[in-house]
Amino acid sequence: TLAGVADDALRRADLFTRLQTITNAQNEAVLAFDTEGLITFANPAARDMLGRDSSRQVDGLPVNDVCQLVQKGGAIDVISRMHAGESAEDQDAVLHTRGGQRVEVAYSFAPLTDAGVREGAVLVLRDVTERRLLQDALAHRALHDELTALPNRRLFLDRLDHALNRSIATHVRHGVLFVDVDRFKLINDSFGHLVGDQLLVQLSERLLRRVGAGDTVARLSGDEFILLVEDRTDIATIAELAFQLCEDLRRPYLVGGQTVTLTVSIGVTSTSPGETRDDVMLAADTAAYAAKASGRNCVRIATDELIVASRSRLELEGRLRAAIDSELLSLWYQPIVDTRTCELQGIEALVRWEEPDGTMVLPGEFIPLAEDSGLIVMLGHWVLEEACRTTRRWTLEHPDREPLQTSVNLSALQLAQPQLPAEIADVLARTGLPAAQLSIEITETAVFADFDANVRTLNALRDIGVHVAVDDFGTGYSSLSYLRELPVDTIKLDASFIAGLGKDIIDAEIVGAVLRLCKALGRRTIAEGVETERQRQTLARMGCPSMQGFLVSKPLRAGDFAAYWDAGEPEVNLRLVEDETEGP
Ligand code: C2E
Ligand code: CA
Ligand code: CA
C-alpha cells in the first residue's frame, strides 16, 4: 500500500541523522517521492504547506508540480538532483504553492537508496517566514540608528565603499558633508534629553529634504551626521549644498511646545578616484574639526594643508598611545621653595616623554593632543598614581624630614569627570599617601570653563583633604572677584607676570594687587618661572611666600630630586640668601 511505501521511505530516511530529527518535528513538512518524481508520502504539515487538505490529493502527483522551490532566481529541480545523488541541508528557498502562495522555507533533501539502488528521495521543508522577518529586522537594526532611523556608520561606510569603487571605473566624484551640531551638550543640559532627541529627529528630517533619493544621510554618533551625495562632480556644488544646510538647520525648531535654535559646523570634501574610505573620512572629519575651531556655525572645505596637519596629529597620537603602553613616560619634579630662605616647601610633578633614542617630548607638545583625543584621562591617572606612590616612598624613607607636598597638574577634561574625587580618594588609599600631601593644580581657564560644576568638584576634593591650586593665574582674564568664591588653597602666579617684574611697572602692580588680595582671602601664593635673583628679591619684598623656577632648580628626574633633597640647603640657595641680605 501507499502507506506501507511511505513507512518504508521514512524508515530509510532515518538513516540520515540530520533528517531523522527533522522528520519527527511536527511543524515540518516531510515529502517522499520515487525515482519518477511521484510523491509517495506527505505528512500533515506537508499537506498544510502545499495547500492540500488530504494526503490523497498530493500522493502520486509529480513533486515538481506540487512543490516549486525557487532559490536565488532559479527553480530547484529536485528530481534531477535526486538522480545526481545530491543532498542539501537547511538551505534557504522560496516555495511557490499551487494555490499561488509564497512561503519562505529552509529545505533539506536526501536521496533514498536501498542496498545501493536508488529508490527516490526525501524532502523536508520548514516554514521560516518568521525567522526571516526577525533576521531582516535585526539586520535593519544593525545598520540603522534607532532614534532617527537613518543609516548608521556601518551602512554609511558600506555605501561609501560602493560609491568609491564605482568612481574607479567612471572617474566620478562624490561629495561628503560632515555635519556636527554646535554645543549640543548645552542643549541637552538645558532642555533635557527628550527635547534633545526630538531635535535630532527633526534635524535629520531637514537633512533628508535637501538630498536626492540616491544619496545617503547617516547618523555617525550623538550629534554627528554625515551625507554622501553621489556623482556631484565639483566642490563648488557641494559647498553650496553645505551653505544651504547651514541656513536650513539654523531655522528655529518647535519641540514639545518650545522653540529651540541651534547651529551646525559642516566639513566638506569631494572624493577623488582611488581614494579609500579612510582618506575620505579623515578629510571630512578634519574639515568639520576646522569648522569648529574657527568659531562654529560655518562651513569648511578639506584642504591638503588641513589634512596634512591632521595626519601628523593622528601620527603623534598613535605614538603617544604607544609611549603610554611601553612606559616611556616619566615624572620629573621641580622644587617649590620659600622665597626668602629657599627652603624646600614642596614639589611639582611634571610629565616627560622620552623616546628610546633619547629625544624628549615636552608636555606642551603632547598634553593638548592627549586632551583632544581623550587620552589625557588615562595619562592623568597614571601621573596621579605615580606621583603619589613616589612621594609616599620618599616620606617613608625620610621619617625625620617634614613630609613633602606634591602638586599634580590636572586637565579640564579630568576635572569634568564626575568620578574624579572618588578616583583620587582611591589612589590615595592605594598608595597610602595622606591627602594633605597632595595638591592638585588646575588652570584658571579650566576652572572657569564650567564654573559651577567645577566648584562642586573642587569642594569634594577639599572635603577629602586634598589641596587645590589655581595654575597660570592671570592668563585667563577672569575677574579677581571670582577668587573669593573659588574653593582653593593656593594661587600660582603665571610666569609671564614674573618675567615682567623689575622691568614692567604694570606687571609689578598686578603682582602686588594679586598678592594683597590673596593675603586678605587667606590664599597662599606661589610665583612661577622665577629665573633671576632680582625677581626673587622683588617677590620676597612684596611678601610672596613661595616660588619655583630655574633660579632654584629646573624640573629634576626622581633620582636627581632625591639627591637635591639629601643635599639639604643647596649651595646656590645659601648664596642667594646672602645675596638678598647684601642686596640693594
Ligand atoms: P605648568 O603647570 O605651568 O608647569 C610649569 C612649566 O614651566 C613647566 O614646563 C616647567 O618646566 C616650566 N618652568 C619651571 N620653571 C621655569 C622657569 O624658571 N622658566 C621657564 N621658562 N619655565 C619654567 P613643562 O614641564 O614643559 O610643562 C608645561 C605644561 O604642561 C605645564 O605647565 C602643565 O600645564 C602641563 N603639564 C605638565 N605635566 C602635566 C601633567 O602631568 N598633567 C597635565 N594635565 N598637564 C601637565
Ligand atoms: Ca602646574
Ligand atoms: Ca603654571
Q: What is the Å distance from ligand 3's center to 382 Cα?
A: 20
Tell me, using a 6 A CB cutoff, whether residue 555 lines ligand 1.
yes
Residue 5: predicted pLDDT: 58
Residue 18: predicted pLDDT: 46
Residue 269: predicted pLDDT: 95
Q: What is the Å distance from ligand 2's center to 330 Cα?
A: 16
Which residues, including other chains, have CB under 8 Å from residue 277's CB and lie 6 or more apart? 157, 160, 161, 164
Tell me, using a 6 A CB cutoff, whether residue 364 lines ligand 1.
yes
Closest ligand relative to 441 C-alpha:
2
Q: 3-state DSSP call for residue 387?
A: helix
* Residue pLDDT tens, the chain, 584 long: 555 656 655 555 554 444 445 444 557 888 889 999 998 888 878 888 887 655 557 778 888 888 889 988 688 998 998 888 888 888 889 998 877 788 899 999 988 877 777 788 999 998 888 888 888 888 888 899 999 999 999 999 999 999 999 998 888 899 999 999 998 988 988 899 999 999 999 999 999 999 988 899 999 999 999 999 998 768 888 999 999 999 999 999 999 888 999 999 999 999 998 999 999 999 999 999 999 888 888 999 999 888 888 888 888 888 888 888 888 999 999 999 999 999 999 999 999 999 889 899 999 989 988 887 788 988 999 999 999 999 999 999 999 999 999 999 999 999 988 899 999 999 999 999 999 999 999 998 888 888 889 999 999 999 999 999 999 988 876 667 778 888 999 999 999 999 988 788 888 888 998 999 999 999 999 999 999 999 999 999 999 999 999 999 999 999 999 999 998 755 544 444 444 443 33
Q: Whose CA is nearest to atom 10 of ligand 1?
A: 555
Q: 3-state DSSP call for residue 248?
A: helix
Residue 14: predicted pLDDT: 52
Cα–Cα distance, 113 to 98 (Å, whole number):
29
Closest ligand relative to 446 C-alpha:
1
Closest ligand relative to 348 C-alpha:
2
Residues with CB under 5 A from ligand 2 (ion): 409, 441, 471
Angle between helices 153-170 and 129-143 (to 10 degrees): 80
Q: 3-state DSSP call for residue 536?
A: helix
Cα–Cα distance, 410 to 467 (Å, whole number):
13
User: How far, in Å, are 218, 384, 458 from residue 422 at the CA level?
Assistant: 38, 13, 12
Q: 3-state DSSP call for residue 391?
A: helix
Residue 169: predicted pLDDT: 87
Residue 580: predicted pLDDT: 45
- Residue with cell string 629665573: 531
Q: What is the Å distance from ligand 2's center to 443 Cα?
A: 8
Chain-centre distance of CA 260, in angstroms? Answer: 27
**Substitution site in 350, 417, 427, 471 for ligand 1 pocket (most atoms within 8 Å of beta carbon):** 350
Residue 504: predicted pLDDT: 83
Residue 309: predicted pLDDT: 83
Chain-centre distance of CA 186, in angstroms? Answer: 19
Q: Whose CA is nearest to atom 34 of ligand 1?
A: 409
Cα dihedral sign for 69, 74, 79, 82? negative
Tell me, using a 6 A CB cutoff, whether residue 550 lines ligand 1.
yes
166-199 in b/e form (b: 16+ CB < 10 A) is: ebeeeeebbbbbbbbbbebeebbeebeeebbebb
Q: Whose CA is nearest to atom 21 of ligand 1?
A: 529
CB 174 within 8 A of CB 167: yes
Closest ligand relative to 493 C-alpha:
3
Bridge partners of 336, per DSSP, are: 346
Tell me, using a 6 A CB cutoff, whether residue 457 lines ligand 1.
no
